[in-house]
Amino acid sequence: MRFTLTSVLALIVANPAFAASGPFFSLGNTDFVVLLAFLLFIAILVYFKVPAMMGKMLDGRAESIKNEIEEARKLREDAQSLLASYERKQKEVQEQADRIVASAKQEAAAAGELAKADLAKSVERRLAAAEEQIGSAEAAAIKEVRDQAVLIAIAASRDIIGKQMTAADGNKLIDEGIAQVDAKLH
């Protein structure tokens, strides 16, 4: 209601109304006719309660905007909590991955040490086996050399004895040789 009174007073006091020629309150004055049409239009709007309906519509729109803002705020809070949750999970997963990598490194180091120890034992066994084979081959070579030396000594003795000795001297030398060989071999 205030709006309509203020509008009417503003139109009456307005400068264009004084600029028209002739009496203002006459149907021949276009400014007066426009003023009447405007007031009639405002009266129709007030009669059909258009300002109240517009107020309700604006209030409804304001309420829906308020609800949308509240919903957006809730969605933002949910998104922030979800983001924080994912960040915590990512941090936990990263920590778990770091632990797995550290554990794998420790296991690899332990496996490396075990492999080194196994390799060292294997080398020791092979060295021992090689030394044993060398000792066996050495003993066989020594035995073979001794056997050859004995055979050569016997052949040489036979030749010398056959040329220089009598049968009695030969038997005596054979007995001494057998005794010496027996003493050296045992």
157 in any annotated domain: yes
Q: What is the pLDDT of residue 29?
A: 85
Q: What is the pLDDT of residue 8?
A: 56
162 in any annotated domain: yes
53 in any annotated domain: yes
Q: What is the pLDDT of residue 149?
A: 81
125 in any annotated domain: no
Answer with the one of 78, 96, 113 that is the final residue of a domain: 78
Q: What is the pLDDT of residue 17?
A: 47
Cα 91-93-94 angle, rounded to 5 deg? 65
Distance of CA 101 to the CA centre of its chain: 9
Structure tokens belonging to residue 94: 């990263």
In the three-class reduction of DSSP (H, G, I as helix; E, B as strand; rest coil), residue 77 is classed as helix
The CB density around residue 55, as the number of other CB atoms within 10 Å, is: 11
> What do you get for the CA distance between the two ends of the chain, in Å?
146
Range of the domain at 150: 136-185
What does each of the 186 residues of the chain score in pLDDT, given as a tens digit? Answer: 555 656 655 556 554 545 556 677 777 888 889 999 999 999 999 999 998 999 999 999 999 999 999 999 999 999 999 999 999 999 999 999 999 999 999 999 999 999 999 998 999 999 998 889 998 888 888 888 888 888 888 887 777 767 776 777 778 878 888 888 878 776
Q: What is the pLDDT of residue 13?
A: 53
Q: What is the pLDDT of residue 154?
A: 81
Tell me the torsion sign for CA atoms 90, 94, 99, 105.
Answer: positive
37 in any annotated domain: yes
23 in any annotated domain: yes
Say if CB 31 and CB 16 are below 8 A apart.
Answer: yes
Claim to verify: residue 7 and residue 73 sit in the same structural domain = yes
Answer with the one of 78, 105, 125 that is the final residue of a domain: 78
Q: What is the pLDDT of residue 186?
A: 67
149 in any annotated domain: yes
Tell me the torsion sign for CA atoms 13, 18, 20, 23.
Answer: positive
Q: What CA–CA distance (Å, rounded) separates 173 from 165?
A: 10
Structural domain count, the chain: 2
How far, in Å, are 4, 12, 30, 44, 46 from residue 41 at the CA level? 11, 17, 16, 5, 9
Q: What CA–CA distance (Å, rounded) separates 92 from 20?
A: 84
16 in any annotated domain: yes
Answer with the one of 30, 54, 78 that is the final residue of a domain: 78
